Amino acid sequence: MKTEYTFTGSTILDNGTGLFCVWAPFRESVSLLVKAPEPAIIPMQKNEEGYWHVTVPDASPGMTYNYLLDGKLERPDPASRYQPEGVHGPSALVGDNFKWSDETWKGLDLHEMIIYEIHTGTFTALQNFKGILSKLNYLRALGINAIEIMPIAQFPGHRNWGYDGVYPFAVHNTYGTPNELKALVNAAHQYGIAVILDVVYNHLGPEGAYFSDFGPWYTDKYKTPWGAAINFDDAHSDAVRAYYIRNALMWLEEYHIDGLRLDAVHAIWDSSAKHFTEELAEAVNTLSHATGRKKILIAEIDFNNPRYITQPDKGGYGMHGQWVDEFHHALHVVLTKEKDGYYEDFDGLPSLAKAWRDSYVYTGQYSQHRKRKFGVPPHNLSYDKFIVFTQNHDQVGNRMLGDRLAAQLPMEANKLAAAMLLLSPHTPMLFMGEEYGETRPFLYFTSHGDEELSKAVSEGRKNEFKAFSWAGDVPDPQSGKTFDQSILSWPTPGPLLEYYRYLIALRKTRRALLNTERDNIWVNMPQPGDVILSVERAGNDDRLLLLFNCSDQQAVFLHNRPHLLHKKFDSSVAIWQGPGPTAPDEVAEGTAITLQPYSAIIYEIV
């Protein structure tokens, strides 16, 4: 698709000519420094906007190059498509010769999605895109129809979560080639699975980021937790904004990726009249209309601010969905009773009920952890715009020992968490391995080459956990053992996997569970001492009563409404290794329903 945003990087044109373009507005000279197959220095021409460009006849894929700045400073391409030797090595020219076979694929809307978050390096023993591809049939059988892949932009070393990436256009070299990523996306579409890619536009990693040698990529107007802020609104920011919008369009158009999850958009500091995310959403919507394929943008936001996912004609930025941590936090407190750190803001079942009803727990009240009032209600936004989870890479990996729920809680509590997630009106996201009860940790790991940086990262992790009362030693992020411990074990499937599969199928078929509008759910707000959360959901002529016993003891719910109830699901049945049901199959008004500890029940309302 033609776009107003200037192309940067390198590509091979239809006639075999190589095109190279880089933004370096204050350099006196820039040359293309060809490293292989035949070394050469080729001067580039500068335009009035500060872009340097040159064409090279008979260019071939695999050609490696750097840019020579002012005749003395040699640097890789900031828009490199591939870094075969890592973040400090030369860039490589990539051809576009992949043969797609997903012509009939049109994408999915958020309300249709069951998302599954994946870290490429630890998902399988292959540690690459081929490993993910090998599990697509498994994921389809589970009921997953969207995978969300943690960042794959080139980062230093071989082991990283991906948020230290420094070449946003380059597929990480140990995960596979650009064509191998395209093969994964192509195959996923054959299986009816959308692909969402996690991208990082709020900062660049601390090792191998040579961007400031080219121009004013950073601004000192703001700070981020990870270092210098990207220049989205200061002098010369037009080229920086264009770079990141071109990056998003590349993934969505050239790689056929269906959506992007933007990391920590609250750290994309921009006081422009049109916020960067609004401009990005406009460009993505234009691409979606041009291609006839649904393309979505998901924001990770630490602010309970619906502006990011509100349409521009209503004063918003027009992104399509957002991660909501508070559903997780409230449920985690209910199940684990932890109250350290940010968990101090959540008071158990009342917070969880509010997360169900309002999506945000904090909608303007005072937050003890933040020491201020926080959030606003997300009025008139359907539930499917909010992605919820019981586990994800942050909430597991940012625990000191990376321990998952399956390692912390009994089987029945894990089943309750799954039911809470998959029966909620929000868009659900699973974290890889939770569906079968993976007990291996997901730890924080890096493989920086800079010794001082490595020490700083290790010390930083120790300092992060001072607000928590977790016992034990902090695993060293730089240790290969830390990474190896995090690779999924893939044991023989047990009843928990079938339990997840059943709930996912139920969610996809019951009209009440498919309805994500706010006027079709009724949450009974708990009173002090209550341990049961009761929710009614409706869709067309389908009405369901959902009951969740959040305690480790049996609990009684009194049905006091003039409707008959027919039981459709009970998590305590023996086929899922439950203790056996105590709730009746048919319930009339005035009947007491006894729920087993940590159990979930669905009744059809007649």
Peptide bond connecting 37 to the previous residue in cis, omega within 30 degrees of 0: yes
Q: Which residue has the tokens 């890096």?
A: 446
Annotated binding site: 261-266, 325-329, 393-398
Using the CB atoms, write b or e for 212-227: b if 16+ within 10 Å.
ebbbbbbbeebeeebe
Check: CB of residue 110 under 8 Å from CB of residue 320.
yes
Q: Measure the CA–CA gap between 421 and 388, rounded to whole angstroms.
A: 7
Strand partners, 148: 117, 196
Q: Which residue has the tokens 């439950």?
A: 578
Q: Measure the CA–CA gap between 303 and 138, rounded to whole angstroms.
A: 35
Check: CB of residue 214 under 8 Å from CB of residue 8.
no
DSSP designation for 356: H
SS3 430: strand
Check: CB of residue 243 under 8 Å from CB of residue 180.
no
Amino acid of residue 255: Y
Q: Measure the CA–CA gap between 278 and 307, rounded to whole angstroms.
A: 10
Check: CB of residue 336 under 8 Å from CB of residue 298.
no
DSSP designation for 312: G
Annotated binding site for substrate: 261-266, 325-329, 393-398
DSSP assignment of 519-556: GGEEEEPPPTT--EEEEEEEETTEEEEEEEE-SSS-EE
Check: CB of residue 395 under 8 Å from CB of residue 444.
no
Name the active-site residue from 117, 233, 258, 300.
300
DSSP designation for 202: S
Check: CB of residue 77 under 8 Å from CB of residue 210.
no
Q: Classify the C-alpha dihedral 349-355-358-360 as positive or negative.
A: positive
Cα–Cα distances in angstroms (integers) from residue 477 to residues 67, 153, 275, 432, in the given order:
33, 19, 35, 20
Q: Measure the CA–CA gap between 231 and 449, rounded to whole angstroms.
A: 27
Check: CB of residue 432 under 8 Å from CB of residue 142.
no
Q: Measure the CA–CA gap between 107 and 494, rounded to whole angstroms.
A: 32
DSSP assignment of 86-128: -TTS-EE----------TT-----GGG--EEEE-HHHHSTT-S
Known catalytic residue at 254? no
CB half-sphere exposure, 74, CA atoms < 13 A? 10
Name the active-site residue from 233, 263, 345, 412.
263
Known catalytic residue at 536? no
| CA 241 from centre of chain | 22
Q: Using only C-alpha atoms, what is the Rg of the chain?
A: 25
Q: Which residue has the tokens 């979606």?
A: 288
Q: Which residue has the tokens 């989870």?
A: 389
What's the length of the chain?
606
Q: Measure the CA–CA gap between 95 and 83, rounded to whole angstroms.
A: 14
Residues with a catalytic annotation lie at 263, 300
